Amino acid sequence: MITFNDVTFRYKKKKVLENFSFNVEKGRIYGLLGKNGAGKSTMLYLMSGLLFPQKGTVLFNGDNVAKRLPSTIRDIFIVPEEFDLPNISLMKYVQINSLFYPNFSMEQLKNNLKFFEMEEDVNLKELSMGQKKKIFMSFALATNTSLLIMDEPTNGLDIPSKSQFRKFIASGMSDERTILISTHQVKDVENLLDQIVVVEDQKILINSSVMEIGKRLSFVEDSEGKHLQDALYALPTLSGNKLILPNSGGEETPMDLELLFNAVLLHPQKIAAMFNN
């Protein structure tokens, strides 16, 4: 669905991507992870045609996103980390903006608002940041674009709303849609994701399905130190260690995404070797 071909992008004083290549496939929920400054948000804006590469191309279903063809931009929606909404009612906002998206569903929008316990009859300027995010994400999912991009979607949401968010995203997924979530709040989304991508220093350190990760790695808590010497990564805890081990027995364990992220950053070659083989 999305292809980065040898993309180079720089701001005035900083090169963010250089000769960068990457693919996003249809029908999956991606988790895009990386430290601050790794280029995650830049990647999202390049995908959505809000930034343009100095070199290389970003393709959406074979079309150059930088050309901003109507057939392209009507099928991509991005929810940025920071945004503002106009001083109008929600229904006026929908009346104006839904026209750009041929697959927009008013019925779906109403259902999305119910997920977040939000009313239809609201003025957008009178809402808190968390409420605005719920409204904007509800509209985004109702556009039914093939590609939905979300940058730090759970920032500003309280704990009950984060649980609602997970149900909300799962309800809007289909085989024809791709959702890409960039976040530092990995605990908020780890049970949603199909594919994990970790970016660092203009490189993809890992790009693998959750299923493949489960086949190759085991995530265990070891209170007695029995498996410490075999660990690919160990995180000390009050009760012992959290470990990532090679999955030699073939029994899958629940993935600890935060543990995996830290392991990939600390031992990128060791973890990557588990998948390159």
Residue range 46-62, pLDDT digits in tens = 999 999 999 999 999 99
Query: CA 131 to CA 156: how far, in whole Å?
Result: 9
- 194 — pLDDT class (breaks 50, 70, 90): very high
Of 10, 32, 40, 82, the residue nearest 193 (C-alpha): 32
The pLDDT of residue 224 is: 82
- Would 43 be classed as within a structural domain? yes
pLDDT at residue 178 tops 60: yes
Residue 92 sits in a domain whose CATH number is 3.40.50.300
Give me the mean pLDDT over the 101-127 stretch: 93
pTM of the model: 0.91
Higher pLDDT pick, 107 / 176: 107
Report the pLDDT value the prediction gives residue 276, as an integer from 0 to 100: 66
Per the prediction, the chain carries an average pLDDT of 91
Q: What percent of the chain has pLDDT over 90?
A: 62
Bridge-based pairing state of the strands 233-237 and 15-24: unpaired
Match 């409420």 to its residue by tokens.
131
Q: What is the mean pLDDT of residues 239-257?
A: 88
Rounded to an integer, what distance in angstroms lies between the CA atom of residue 142 and that of residue 137? 9
Which residue, 166, 201, 236, sits at the end of a domain?
201
Label residues 137-168 b or e (16+ Cβ within 10 Å = b): bbbbbbbbbbbbbbbbbbebbeeebeebbeeb
Question: Which are the contacts of 175, defined by CB distance < 8 A and separation ≥ 6?
Answer: 26, 27
Predicted local confidence at residue 43, as pLDDT: 93
CB-count burial class (<10 Å; 0-12, 13-18, 19+) for 36: exposed
* 49 vs 250, more confident: 49
Amino acid identity for residue 208 in this structure: S
Domain boundary residue, one of 201, 223, 241: 201
What is the mean predicted confidence (pLDDT) over 133-137?
Answer: 93
- Note the pLDDT of residue 156: 82
Do both 58 and 120 map to the same domain? yes
- Quick one: which of 219, 225, 226 has its CA closest to 258? 219
Report the 10 Å Cβ neighbour count for 117.
10
Structural domain for 148, as ranges: 2-201
Phi, psi dihedral angles at 133 (to 5 degrees): -65, -40
pLDDT, one tens digit per residue, over 51-110 is: 999 999 999 999 999 999 999 999 999 999 889 899 999 999 999 999 999 999 999 999
pLDDT of residue 277: 52
Query: Does residue 144 sit in the same domain as residue 221?
Result: no
Q: Which of 201, 232, 252 marks a domain boundary?
A: 201
- Residues 156, 217, single domain; the answer is no
| pLDDT of the residue at 203 | 86
pLDDT tens digits, one per residue of 149-166:
999 998 888 888 888 888
Q: Is the dihedral of CA 191, 187, 79, 20 positive or negative?
A: negative
pLDDT tens for 213-231 read: 999 999 999 888 788 888 9
Residues 50 and 149 in one domain: yes
d(CA 34, CA 24): 17
Whether pLDDT at 191 is above 90: no
Same domain membership, residue 130 and residue 102: yes
Q: What is the pLDDT of residue 24?
A: 93
Q: Let me know: does 183 contact 31? Beta carbons within 8 Å.
A: yes
Residues 87 and 217 in one domain: no
Number of domains, the chain? 2
pLDDT given for residue 179 in this prediction: 95
159 and 255 share one domain: no
